[in-house]
């Protein structure tokens, strides 16, 4: 949760003052607390550069080509500073472009720990070379990389088509590191003088710092110091920002670069602020704007009917992304005019990335399909952590469940109202004075008894552990971190301190591997008092949130070892979640899969757990925005995403709450959460009718858990997102390109949430010419490639199963997912118009790494073709036994057979009874009874 406190009396006077200043009691974000591009000196400087002739020139004579890479120097003709360009052709159809200063004054930050390995390369071969540039082959598909010398630019082509160009608008700008020249701080003036003298000698090819073209020496405001509100950012390294432009001919749609509360399809930013990537604790954020939020993933996808590509800008500093499009500004009329006159220029999207420090390190993922881009990105940063099955079930959270009795009462409430749930959560108030890893001993005197009580019902708990540590000499965690020197340091070298929930707090330096190892060890059962194996962890506030810091976060000149927070700010949250997840793995001796939820994230965070969209509000717009927010995250690797069901701030109307449960039941991370100041909203507090509606929504989730689990297995295995925009599966259907009011789960379920108050119907788009979709509630069949008006009641939201798919469900919903472990499956076979269908089933123990380490899992393929449904093994090398069996097979779009025969590998045949509903063409096969791990075939005659 964000800064929002009710009893300031318990806090220090400074914090009270801060609260009084910052929380003026309005319900909208206070934009004044956060920088615009104009208020961020480097963004302002960079954005002031206009497209035009680039001052950069490639020095072709410096070209070196090895087996793995091409290197080439670039020179800025204005100031003679040289850059080093490195080009790599990476396995899997990717190109990596690295640009750094040839001889930086001191090393510039290169992001560590995000790539899962050194990306394997493939040889580049030189096709041709002259004084204007070189042409390189990128291997297959007649793909070429053209390096133009003057001005420097890169073009990637396939055949005659330009796929993507770099610096085509001349916006490459690299602020080289320099020595401060103004009189105030220059104790080494003499040295400078020498350098200047030395530079007077014509030293060809040798860079000498201090001798730069005069215009470059100009000291602008904000280069060496910058003040925002009351905070001054000392900039000991001076200006260091970088920028590069990308042109995407033929592209009208770009996506990604979360986290923003904005539409799925990114908007042109001309005339407004660029999209900002800077992890911030934004109090009461607004929807539909490009402001930075809690997390940042600098990955953009481009898509057209022809091709999908991706740009991964590996930089963890504050980053701004400008997007412009030659069609975005045009009215429909203007576009028609172009068409009629035949004079239309090719649509094109131009993108420009600006970061405050570090180097240019960009991965161009050339697709060409969406699935290819997902695999390419996964090969760089890894895939979604495979969560314990129970983490995909329902989570009940609130700030705060007050005490053990409260927890027991809520737990009992779920049983009394026959609503399943798996996790109950404890927010910050459970601790002893916001000292994480401790308990308030009045409210939670026997945490193990409480956890055992949950365990007895096969349920679990999450406690919060935030990364700000109360400065208190009687607090063990603080003392150890301090004595080990593990805190982030301020620019003056002392431990950096800021205000957060506990009052004055230190911030452990999670970028330090020793610190992370120590932190992880704190989750051991004998270290974290009162913890048990069914207790998992929530890392909130890991941007990090610093109530009295600039923009409510850490000072940029704070130090993580040798590096400034400026260089790695967006990486901090990832490290927090990583260290915690590693702790949970270690405490189980490497056996159990962890579950950790975090609010701040970066590229690669998907490897460590789940994220949520932070402190949203109980408003219909926030329900709407949860769809594009999680879709955007899914596109860039983070599948385990959810929004607080019901909305965090404010109190939802009953209708909104019910609609949110119905939507959340079909989003990956399904957790209800509420602010401390809101009235209680456990599902049974809104009358029996609404209790029944919420129960039904939650049960739909539980019944589909086998499908969810299988989707997450795929996300983990191959990086394919769980929740997908329609265009991912229908890449040529332009009608889907900007759609973000509905989505697909995997390929086979299409969900259209109801996000309008008092809605009596929605218009859903069913994609796929020649395909059919079945309403999962009524089994009614609809044709694809049409807009379909569906009347809705409050009882459910429209969900469709794709004709041609087979989805396994567990129809016996119990009080938690663990209780359903051995239950039988019902297979929903939705036939395509050609009477074909395919699906999968994945089963393992649901919570350990044995699926990976010992190949203990079942992975089966179901196929329906030629009137026969069969199950065959997709993973012959694996082994696992399950008690689950096939209870029922429901075939949608079927015709009535005369008989149905089950054949098992032992040669036995048995007749199955069936029912046929002619009105909906639904055939139900009664009780095949065969074990879900075995081969079998059902033949219809």
CA 97 centroid distance within chain:
24
- Asked if 563 interacts with other proteins (CB under 8 A), we say no
- Taking residues 676 to 705 in sequence order and writing x for each that binds other proteins by CB under 8 A, - otherwise, the string is xxxxx-------------------------
Minimum CB distance to other proteins smaller for 129 or for 888: 888
> Could you tell me the smallest distance in angstroms from the CB atom of residue 116 to other proteins?
38
Distance, in Å, from the CA atom of 267 to the CA atom of 248, rounded to the nearest integer, reads: 15
- Asked if 814 interacts with other proteins (CB under 8 A), we say yes
The residue from 242, 813, 830, 894 that contacts other proteins (CB under 8 A) is 813
Minimum CB distance to other proteins smaller for 218 or for 442: 442
> Could you tell me the smallest distance in angstroms from the CB atom of residue 883 to other proteins?
4
- Asked if 908 interacts with other proteins (CB under 8 A), we say no
First to last CA, the chain: 59
748 catalytically annotated: no
Minimum CB distance to other proteins smaller for 176 or for 815: 815
Q: How far is CA 657 from CA 394, 622, 677, 683, 684, in A?
A: 15, 12, 17, 9, 12
Q: Is 74 helix (H, G, I), strand (E, B) or coil?
A: strand
Minimum CB distance to other proteins smaller for 21 or for 127: 21
> Could you tell me the smallest distance in angstroms from the CB atom of residue 925 to other proteins?
11
* Interface of this chain with other proteins, residues 438 to 457, rule: CB under 8 A: 442, 456-457
Residues 269/289, Cβ–Cβ less than 8 Å:
no
Query: Which tokens in the block code for residue 444?
Result: 């939670």
- Taking residues 740 to 779 in sequence order and writing x for each that binds other proteins by CB under 8 A, - otherwise, the string is ----------------------------------------
Query: Which tokens in the block code for residue 388?
Result: 């314990």
Distance, in Å, from the CA atom of 632 to the CA atom of 262, rounded to the nearest integer, reads: 9
In what helix (H) or strand (E) does residue 728 lie, and over which residues does it extend?
A: helix 726-729
In what helix (H) or strand (E) does residue 197 lie, and over which residues does it extend?
A: helix 189-200
Query: Which tokens in the block code for residue 278?
Result: 């800077």
Distance, in Å, from the CA atom of 499 to the CA atom of 548, rounded to the nearest integer, reads: 6
Minimum CB distance to other proteins smaller for 39 or for 931: 931
Q: Can you tell me which residue has the tokens 């042409």? A: 135
Minimum CB distance to other proteins smaller for 284 or for 355: 284
Residues 607/382, Cβ–Cβ less than 8 Å:
yes
> Could you tell me the smallest distance in angstroms from the CB atom of residue 459 to other proteins?
10
Residue range at the interface with other proteins (CB under 8 A); choices 67-75, 150-158, 298-306, 818-826: 818-826
Q: Is the Cα dihedral 513, 514, 516, 521 positive or negative?
A: positive
> Could you tell me the smallest distance in angstroms from the CB atom of residue 814 to other proteins?
5
> Could you tell me the smallest distance in angstroms from the CB atom of residue 677 to other proteins?
5
> Could you tell me the smallest distance in angstroms from the CB atom of residue 100 to other proteins?
50
> Could you tell me the smallest distance in angstroms from the CB atom of residue 188 to other proteins?
54
Query: Which tokens in the block code for residue 128?
Result: 């041709």
Distance, in Å, from the CA atom of 411 to the CA atom of 422, rounded to the nearest integer, reads: 10
Residues 525/532, Cβ–Cβ less than 8 Å:
yes
Minimum CB distance to other proteins smaller for 259 or for 887: 887
Distance, in Å, from the CA atom of 309 to the CA atom of 322, rounded to the nearest integer, reads: 18
Distance, in Å, from the CA atom of 530 to the CA atom of 539, rounded to the nearest integer, reads: 18
- Asked if 823 interacts with other proteins (CB under 8 A), we say yes
- Taking residues 386 to 415 in sequence order and writing x for each that binds other proteins by CB under 8 A, - otherwise, the string is ----------------x--xx---------
Minimum CB distance to other proteins smaller for 603 or for 912: 912
- Asked if 926 interacts with other proteins (CB under 8 A), we say yes
> Could you tell me the smallest distance in angstroms from the CB atom of residue 412 to other proteins?
13
Residue range at the interface with other proteins (CB under 8 A); choices 248-256, 365-373, 791-799, 807-815: 807-815
- Asked if 906 interacts with other proteins (CB under 8 A), we say no
The residue from 69, 812, 835, 903 that contacts other proteins (CB under 8 A) is 812
What is the DSSP-derived secondary structure letter of residue 596? E
Residues in the interface with other proteins (CB under 8 A) total 33
> Could you tell me the smallest distance in angstroms from the CB atom of residue 328 to other proteins?
40
906 catalytically annotated: no
- Asked if 885 interacts with other proteins (CB under 8 A), we say yes
Distance, in Å, from the CA atom of 854 to the CA atom of 875, rounded to the nearest integer, reads: 13
Long-range CB pairs of 922-927 (<8 Å, 24+ gap) are 922/779, 922/890, 922/891, 922/892, 922/894, 923/890, 923/891, 923/894, 923/895, 923/896, 923/897, 924/888, 924/889, 924/890, 924/891, 925/888, 925/889, 925/890, 925/891, 925/900, 926/888, 927/887, 927/888
Minimum CB distance to other proteins smaller for 345 or for 456: 456
The residue from 286, 927, 937, 939 that contacts other proteins (CB under 8 A) is 927
Number of helices and strands (H, E) in the chain? 18, 53
* Interface of this chain with other proteins, residues 23 to 82, rule: CB under 8 A: 25
Minimum CB distance to other proteins smaller for 57 or for 457: 457
CB neighbours of 349 closer than 8 A, spacing ≥ 6? 247, 248, 251, 252, 253, 254, 302, 323, 324, 325, 328
- Taking residues 650 to 679 in sequence order and writing x for each that binds other proteins by CB under 8 A, - otherwise, the string is --------------------------xxxx
Per this entry, what is the length of the chain?
Answer: 941
Minimum CB distance to other proteins smaller for 814 or for 903: 814
CB neighbours of 907 closer than 8 A, spacing ≥ 6? none
Minimum CB distance to other proteins smaller for 418 or for 852: 418
Q: Can you tell me which residue has the tokens 């992370």? A: 516
Phi-psi region of 467 (alpha: psi -120 to 50; beta: other; left: phi over 0): alpha
The residue from 853, 883, 895, 910 that contacts other proteins (CB under 8 A) is 883
Residues 334/376, Cβ–Cβ less than 8 Å:
no
Residues 390/423, Cβ–Cβ less than 8 Å:
yes
- Asked if 888 interacts with other proteins (CB under 8 A), we say yes
- Asked if 228 interacts with other proteins (CB under 8 A), we say no
Residue range at the interface with other proteins (CB under 8 A); choices 38-46, 91-99, 717-725, 921-929: 921-929
Q: Which of 427, 615, 733, 844 is catalytic?
A: 615
Q: Which of 273, 540, 740, 748 is catalytic?
A: 540
- Asked if 796 interacts with other proteins (CB under 8 A), we say no
Residues of this chain that bind other proteins (CB under 8 A): 6, 25, 402, 405-406, 418, 442, 456-458, 676-680, 811-815, 818-820, 822-823, 883, 885, 887-888, 926-927, 929, 931
Query: Which positions are catalytic?
Result: 540, 615
């Amino acid at each position: 949760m964000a800064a929002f406190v009710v009893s300031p009396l318990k806090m220090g006077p400074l914090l009270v003052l801060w609260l009084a200043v910052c929380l003026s009691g309005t319900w909208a974000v206070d934009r004044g607390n956060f920088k615009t591009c104009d208020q961020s000196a480097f963004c302002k400087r960079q954005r002031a550069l206009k497209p035009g002739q680039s001052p950069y020139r490639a020095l072709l004579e410096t070209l070196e080509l090895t087996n793995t890479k091409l290197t080439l120097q670039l020179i800025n003709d204005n100031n003679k500073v040289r850059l080093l360009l490195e080009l790599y052709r990476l396995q899997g159809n990717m190109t990596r472009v690295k640009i750094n200063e040839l001889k930086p004054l001191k090393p510039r930050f290169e992001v560590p720990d995000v790539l899962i390995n050194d990306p394997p390369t493939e040889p580049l071969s030189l096709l041709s070379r002259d004084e204007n540039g070189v042409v390189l082959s990128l291997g297959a598909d007649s793909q070429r990389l053209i390096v133009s010398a003057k001005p420097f630019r890169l073009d990637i082509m396939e055949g005659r088509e330009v796929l993507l160009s770099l610096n085509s608008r001349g916006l490459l700008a690299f602020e080289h590191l320099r020595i401060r020249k103004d009189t105030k701080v220059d104790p080494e003036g003499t040295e400078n003088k020498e350098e200047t003298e030395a530079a007077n000698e014509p030293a060809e090819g040798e860079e000498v710092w201090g001798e730069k073209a005069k215009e470059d020496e100009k000291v602008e405001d904000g280069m060496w110091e910058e003040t925002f509100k009351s905070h001054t950012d000392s900039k000991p390294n001076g200006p260091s920002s970088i920028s590069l432009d990308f042109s995407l001919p033929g592209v009208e749609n770009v996506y990604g670069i979360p986290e923003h509360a904005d539409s799925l399809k990114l908007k042109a930013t001309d005339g407004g602020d660029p999209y900002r990537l800077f992890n911030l604790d934004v109090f009461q954020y607004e929807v539909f704007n490009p402001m930075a939020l809690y997390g940042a993933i600098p990955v953009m996808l481009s898509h057209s009917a022809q091709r999908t590509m991706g740009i991964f800008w590996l930089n963890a500093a504050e980053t701004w992304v400008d997007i412009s499009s030659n069609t975005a500004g045009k009215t429909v009329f203007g576009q028609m005019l172009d068409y009629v006159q035949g004079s239309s220029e090719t649509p094109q999207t131009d993108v420009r990335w600006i970061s405050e420090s570090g180097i240019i390190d960009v991965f161009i993922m050339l697709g060409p399909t969406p699935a290819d881009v997902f695999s390419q990105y996964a090969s760089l940063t890894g895939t979604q952590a495979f969560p314990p099955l129970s983490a995909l079930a329902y989570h009940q959270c609130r700030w705060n469940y007050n005490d053990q009795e409260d927890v027991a009462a809520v737990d009992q409430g779920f049983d009394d109202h026959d609503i399943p749930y798996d996790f109950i959560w404890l927010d910050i108030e459970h601790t002893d004075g916001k000292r994480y890893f401790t308990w308030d001993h009045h409210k939670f005197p026997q945490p193990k008894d409480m956890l055992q009580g949950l365990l007895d019902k096969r349920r679990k708990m999450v406690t919060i552990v935030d990364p700000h540590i109360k400065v208190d000499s009687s607090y063990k965690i603080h003392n150890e971190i301090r004595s080990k020197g593990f805190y982030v340091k301020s620019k003056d070298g002392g431990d950096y301190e800021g205000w957060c929930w506990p009052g004055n707090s230190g911030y452990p330096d999670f970028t330090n591997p020793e610190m992370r190892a120590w932190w992880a060890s704190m989750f051991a059962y004998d270290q974290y008092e009162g913890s048990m194996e069914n207790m998992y962890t929530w890392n909130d506030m890991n941007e990090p949130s610093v109530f009295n810091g600039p923009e409510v976060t850490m000072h940029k000149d704070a130090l993580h070892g040798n590096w400034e927070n400026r260089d790695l700010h967006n990486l901090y949250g990832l490290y927090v979640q990583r260290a915690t997840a590693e702790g949970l793995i270690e405490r189980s001796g490497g056996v159990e899969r962890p579950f950790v939820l975090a609010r701040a994230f970066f590229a690669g965070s998907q490897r460590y757990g789940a994220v949520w969209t932070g402190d949203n509000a109980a408003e219909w717009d926030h329900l709407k925005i949860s769809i594009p927010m999680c879709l955007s995250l899914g596109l860039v690797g983070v599948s385990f995403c959810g929004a607080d069901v019901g909305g965090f701030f404010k109190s939802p109307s009953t209708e909104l709450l019910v609609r949110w449960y119905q939507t959340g039941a079909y989003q990956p991370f399904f957790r209800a959460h509420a602010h401390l100041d809101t009235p209680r909203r456990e599902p049974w507090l809104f009358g029996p009718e609404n209790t029944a509606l919420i129960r039904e929504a939650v049960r739909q989730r539980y019944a589909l858990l086998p499908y969810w689990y299988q989707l997450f297995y795929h996300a983990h295995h191959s990086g394919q997102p769980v929740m997908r925009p329609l265009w991912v599966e229908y890449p040529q259907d332009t009608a889907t390109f900007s759609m973000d009011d509905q989505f697909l789960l995997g390929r086979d379920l299409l969900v259209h949430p109801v996000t309008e108050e008092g809605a009596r119907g929605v218009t859903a788009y069913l994609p796929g010419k020649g395909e059919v979709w079945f309403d999962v509630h009524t089994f009614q069949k609809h044709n694809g490639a049409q807009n379909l008006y569906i009347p809705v009641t409050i009882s459910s939201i429209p969900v469709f199963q794709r004709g041609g798919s087979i989805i396994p469900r567990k129809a016996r919903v119990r009080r938690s997912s663990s209780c359903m472990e051995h239950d039988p499956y019902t297979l929903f076979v939705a036939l395509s118009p050609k009477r074909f269908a395919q699906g999968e089933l994945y089963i393992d123990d649901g919570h350990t790494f044995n699926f990976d380490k010992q190949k203990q899992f079942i992975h089966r393929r179901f196929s329906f073709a030629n009137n026969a449904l069969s199950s065959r093994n997709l993973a012959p090398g694996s082994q696992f036994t399950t008690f689950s069996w096939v209870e029922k097979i429901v075939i949608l779009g079927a015709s009535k057979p005369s008989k149905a025969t089950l054949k098992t590998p032992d040669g036995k045949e048995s007749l199955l009874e069936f029912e046929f509903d002619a009105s909906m063409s639904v055939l139900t096969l009664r009780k095949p009874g065969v074990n879900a791990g075995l081969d079998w075939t059902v033949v219809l005659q």
